[in-house]
Amino acid sequence: MLNKLALSGIKHRLRDYSVLFSGLIIASAIFYMFMSLATNSSFLKSNSPAQATSFIYGFGAVLLAIITIVYINYANGFLLSMRQKEYGMFMMLGAKSSKISKMIFVETFTIGAIATVLGSVIGIVATSFVSQLIIKSLDMKVTHFNSFYLPALLITFAFFIVIFIFSALKNSISIRRTKVLTLLHKDSQPARIKKNKALKVFQVILGIVFLGIGYGTMIVMGSNPVLIYLGVPVALFTIVIGTYFMINAVIIAVISALKRNKKFSQKGLNNFTLSQLSFRISDYTKILSMVAMMFALALGAITVGLGFQNQISTVVDGQNYYDVTVNNINNSQQKRIDKLNTKQVVTYSYKASKGTVYYQASEFKKTPFKYQKFNMKSMIGKTSSTTDPSNADVSYELLNNNLPRYRTSKISVVDGAKFDSIDSKANSLTLVKTKSFNKDLATIKKINQSEQKRYPELKGSGASKYDAYVMVNGIFSGLEFMGLFLGIAFLAMLASCLMFKILSGASSDVKRYNMLYKIGTRTKVLRSNINKEIAVLFAVPAGLGIIHVLIGLQMFSKILYKPYMNIEIPFGIFIILYLGYYFVTRYLYKKIVLK
Amino acid sequence: MQKIVEVKNIEKIYGKAGEKQYKALSDVNFEVEPGEFVGIMGASGSGKTTLLNILSTLDTPTSGQVHIGGQDITKLNTNEMADFRANKIGFIFQDFNLLENLTAYENIALPLALQNTDSKKIDPAVMSISKKLGLTDILNHYPTELSGGQKQRVAAARALVHDPAIVFGDEPTGALDSKSARALLDTMSKINHEDNVSILLVTHDPFSASYCDRIIFIKDGEIGQELKRDDHTRGEFYQEILDSLGTFAE
């Protein structure tokens, strides 16, 4: 009989349960997606040159596990809050608490198990979809990646089963310990705001100090990457604590100040909104700080990931000024070059004899040779030009453009008479600079291929700019892929965490909004009030997270050339996705709260 | 003189046509004069809450007309209804319905803020009504720090602060102990006499009803008899109500 009652209870609250259920499914799907990367060691090895990768992934796995536990804790609290009134009623009608707690155990565990299985399946599908999308759209080379990876699936199952056993135990114990009357009147439990000015001021100071230490550490790490193993934990610890105090003290102080401004607070529902917020934020401090941190990590991961994409062209450009090199040009290669959007085309003639490659001074005088002056410190080449490429720096790059057989030769720039007198066949070297290497990539690839056919020695020599591009792209794509994947996974997780926390408080707001409606508040006003309130709850962690990222990018100032370049792209993508969660949350919230 | 409330041939039917229908109100007619303190009495399920919901524009009648302050409230759209409630009506509910995250002061000021009253005018209005209801010492307290009687007085202040045309009380003493209930009724009665505020009280409690000038009895969705206090003392009127309830229930 009780089981029947429990089932009918679920049916009645199908909408709330569907929110809970989809949240749990998302959690397990994301966990699987991450694990399919993190546990796949052959993928990690083949796609990242950096020693730090497994460290980064291990760190990510721990973070994700923590956030998943927190998330399930919230979801579990939401489940219990929906059901406890009913449980209280069953107990009042004489059901034994042992029976009820058994029922709760079964219910929690069943929901968790079904969600985990469904989530893993969705995770497999989503992994293949997302990875294909990322790989294709960014022309990436990712090897050893498989959306179905058994060890990841097993870890996901094991992890979630353990968590749900604990949640189920926690639920059944908490019901056993709570009095029937408390269960029945749970909704009307008062919510109090504690005020202690001295403590708040102390928290503000602590918040600023901790954030200062954290930010400082990140900047120091940027100029000295060796400190990364010590610096990351220090920065993480201090910034987490700093964020917590900032939200707990500073934001509440701002709200109180707004409340004291009567002109503002006594307009429409402003006072109500501010009170809701100050109550909410003190209740939400933990989750908002966590969301702010996750926001920063996720956005940081995406930004750095895309930063590597920017890096590709920078590094490739550093290798060679000219985009295309053709030896002894023929008609078909000429036709291909004509298709390019060129900035400069230059042809030099040369003769090779006894370990020396001879060029004519008059040709360089007419069109100076352009090369990349490479700076080891910044890893960036700066374009320069010269009429005498025989010195060591420049001859290296010019020889790189010649066929590999001349690689060890010397360069000699001679006058016309001397050139003519050399007893060797005259060759030509055509160099092309395009307006955009990336836009002409397809044609450049063709020219490169046909050049390799004409001169098989070019194969595997890695001499051309295109070859360099392929190699660098391979290295950076792995890093970029991880950044994007991690970023999107964390975003989905943090935003659904926040969504859940907000929605689980919705039922207690029904009465408040109903009262406001009764005393004559227009539905439109109620709606806009809800929008504002939820917007602030989403904006606070986002704002702090963005500041964390902007400063955190300093960590990469040595690894990435211009870490702030094109920053609006990852920020834009991220904010659009995050806004999506905001709109879903406020829609669901209004569905629960308003008639 | 214009009536404050005029109810003509109100009918309320629940359930769609073709399905099983339930008639909650049938041919209800009555009026409330300005400054009158009227009680509506009836047992549970008699239709008194339905009637109050219609009078306060929270529900609409199936047929019939309701005029409040000369305005036909059955012809209003949702926004107009909300504005009407905000401007013309004060509510006192059985379970106080205070917002527990606002202080007593902020709760009382809420209806004025909703009407976008100039913030300079809000403070004197709140202070004046608080003084009248003896709330000045507890204005900075949150509802959870107040007793039931204090909470209900805060709710009464909130119902009165914007000078509504009429105050509706839905079993306002239902959740109070007898001493607090008596204090609240004394206050309402005082405001009714001194400030000429019209009050419509829905109750099933004869003691609360004995404070009214006139009682309208409702049973199974229909108006039964009416009882006027006239020159009787409250004690006599109370006895009269008890007698009527005895006969009315049969």
Helix (H) or strand (E) holding A375: strand A369-375
Interface test with A, best of B58, B110, B115 (most A CBs within 10 A): B110
The answer to whether residue A368 scores a pLDDT higher than 60 is yes
The answer to whether residue A188 scores a pLDDT higher than 70 is no
Which residue on chain A is closest to B78 by alpha carbon? A522
State the smallest CA–CA distance between residue A71 and chain B in angstroms. 27
Q: What is the pLDDT of chain A when averaged over all its residues?
A: 81
Which residue on chain B is closest to A513 by alpha carbon? B99
* Residue in this structure with the two tokens 């006027």, named with its chain if needed: B228
Range list of H helices, chain B:
48-55, 78-88, 104-114, 119-132, 148-160, 178-195, 206-209, 234-249
Instruction: Classify each residue of A23-50 as buried b or exposed e, where b means 16 or more C-beta atoms within 10 Å of its C-beta.
Output: bbbbbbbbbbbbbbbbbbeebbebbbee
Average pLDDT of the residues in A74-88: 74
Most confident of A177-186, A349-358, A400-409: A349-358
Helix (H) or strand (E) holding A299: helix A270-319
* Residue in this structure with the two tokens 């390019």, named with its chain if needed: A340
Residue B36 is predicted with a pLDDT of 92
The answer to whether residue A583 scores a pLDDT higher than 90 is yes
pLDDT tens-digit profile of A138-158? 566 666 677 788 888 998 999
* Residue in this structure with the two tokens 């960036």, named with its chain if needed: A380
State how beta strands B198-203 and B166-170 pair.
Answer: parallel
Residue B101 is predicted with a pLDDT of 82
Separation of alpha carbons B91 and B55, rounded Å: 11
Residue A203 is predicted with a pLDDT of 86
Tell me whether B86 touches chain A (CB under 8 Å). yes
CA B88 to chain CA centroid, Å, is 12
User: Which residue in the set A276, A520, A524 is minimally distant from B101, CB to CB?
Assistant: A276
Residue A52, both tokens: 């730090």
Determine whether the interchain pair B56/A268 forms a contact, defined as Cβ–Cβ distance below 8 Å: no
The DSSP-derived string for A308-372 is HHHHHHHHHHHH-S-SEEEES--HHHHHHHHHS-EEEEEEEEEEEETTEEEEEHHHHHHSPEEEE
CB A447 within 8 A of CB A337: yes
CB proximity under 8 Å: B 153-182 to A: 158
Rg of chain B's alpha carbons, rounded to an integer?
18
Residue of A118, A127, A129, A128 whose CA lies nearest to A160? A118
Give, as one character, the DSSP assignment of residue B218.
E
Collect the ranges in chain B with pLDDT lower than 70. 1, 248-250
State the smallest CA–CA distance between residue A85 and chain B in angstroms. 19
State the smallest CA–CA distance between residue A262 and chain B in angstroms. 6
CB B210 within 8 A of CB B37: no
pLDDT range class, residue A455, cuts 50, 70, 90: confident
Residue of A169, A188, A187 whose CA lies nearest to A177? A169
Task: Specify the CATH number of the domain B36-47+86-249.
Answer: 3.40.50.300
- CB under 8 Å to A510, separation ≥6 — which residues? A592, A593
ipTM for the complex shown: 0.85
Residues in chain B: 250
State the smallest CA–CA distance between residue B144 and chain A in angstroms. 6
Determine whether the interchain pair A271/B113 forms a contact, defined as Cβ–Cβ distance below 8 Å: yes
State the smallest CA–CA distance between residue B90 and chain A in angstroms. 7
pLDDT tens-digit profile of A371-419? 877 655 555 567 888 888 877 777 777 888 888 888 788 888 888 888 8
State the smallest CA–CA distance between residue B121 and chain A in angstroms. 10
Residue A61 is predicted with a pLDDT of 76
Residue A189 is predicted with a pLDDT of 47
State how beta strands B222-228 and B63-68 pair.
Answer: unpaired
Interface test with B, best of A261, A266, A514 (most B CBs within 10 A): A266
Query: Where are chain B's structural domains?
Result: 36-47+86-249
Range name among A54-63, A172-181, A189-198, A432-441 with the lowest pLDDT average: A189-198
Tell me whether A193 touches chain B (CB under 8 Å). yes
Residue A314, both tokens: 């920078």
CB A100 within 8 A of CB A526: no
User: Which residue in the set A263, A512, A520 is minimally distant from B83, CB to CB?
Assistant: A520
* Residue in this structure with the two tokens 């109750």, named with its chain if needed: B203
The answer to whether residue A135 scores a pLDDT higher than 50 is yes
Tell me whether A518 touches chain B (CB under 8 Å). yes
Separation of alpha carbons B110 and B158, rounded Å: 7
Separation of alpha carbons A261 and A264, rounded Å: 6
Residue B122, both tokens: 């809000």
The DSSP-derived string for B13-48 is EES-TTS--EEEEEEEEEEE-TT-EEEEE--TTSSH
* Residue in this structure with the two tokens 């370049």, named with its chain if needed: A565
The answer to whether residue A48 scores a pLDDT higher than 90 is no
The answer to whether residue A190 scores a pLDDT higher than 50 is no
pLDDT tens-digit profile of A310-351? 777 777 777 778 888 888 888 888 888 888 888 888 889 898
In A156-257, which ranges are E strands?
none
Separation of alpha carbons B133 and A61, rounded Å: 61
Chain B contact set for A262 (CB, 8 A): 119, 122-123
Residue A376 is predicted with a pLDDT of 55
Q: Which residues pair with B71 in a beta bridge?
A: B68
pLDDT range class, residue A193, cuts 50, 70, 90: low
State the smallest CA–CA distance between residue B110 and chain A in angstroms. 8
Higher local confidence (pLDDT), A522 or A396: A522
Separation of alpha carbons A451 and A325, rounded Å: 9
Chain B contact set for A272 (CB, 8 A): 99, 101-102, 110
Instruction: Classify each residue of A488-505 as buried b or exposed e, where b means 16 or more C-beta atoms within 10 Å of its C-beta.
Output: bbbbbbbbbbbbbbbbbb
The DSSP-derived string for A31-75 is HHHHHHHHT-HHHHHHH---THHHHHHHHHHHHHHHHHHHHHHHH
Determine whether the interchain pair A268/B114 forms a contact, defined as Cβ–Cβ distance below 8 Å: yes
CB A75 within 8 A of CB A20: yes
Residue A150, exposed/middle/buried by CB under 10 A (0-12, 13-18, 19+)?
exposed
Determine whether the interchain pair A271/B97 forms a contact, defined as Cβ–Cβ distance below 8 Å: no
Higher local confidence (pLDDT), A579 or A111: A579
Separation of alpha carbons B79 and B244, rounded Å: 41
Residue B81, both tokens: 């209804």
Chain B contact set for A267 (CB, 8 A): 113, 116, 119
Residue B6 is predicted with a pLDDT of 92
Average pLDDT of the residues in A245-251: 84
User: Which residue in the set A262, A263, A521 is minimally distant from B114, CB to CB?
Assistant: A521
Residue type, A284: Y
CA angle B19, B22, B27 (to 5 degrees): 130
pLDDT tens-digit profile of A270-319? 888 888 888 777 778 888 888 888 888 888 888 887 787 777 777 777 77
Which residue on chain A is closest to B77 by alpha carbon? A522
Separation of alpha carbons A503 and A533, rounded Å: 13
Residue A218, exposed/middle/buried by CB under 10 A (0-12, 13-18, 19+)?
buried
Q: Is B215 helix (H, G, I), strand (E, B) or coil?
A: strand
Chain B contact set for A519 (CB, 8 A): 85-86, 91, 110-111, 114, 158
Residue of B139, B140, B131, B138 whose CA lies nearest to B160? B131
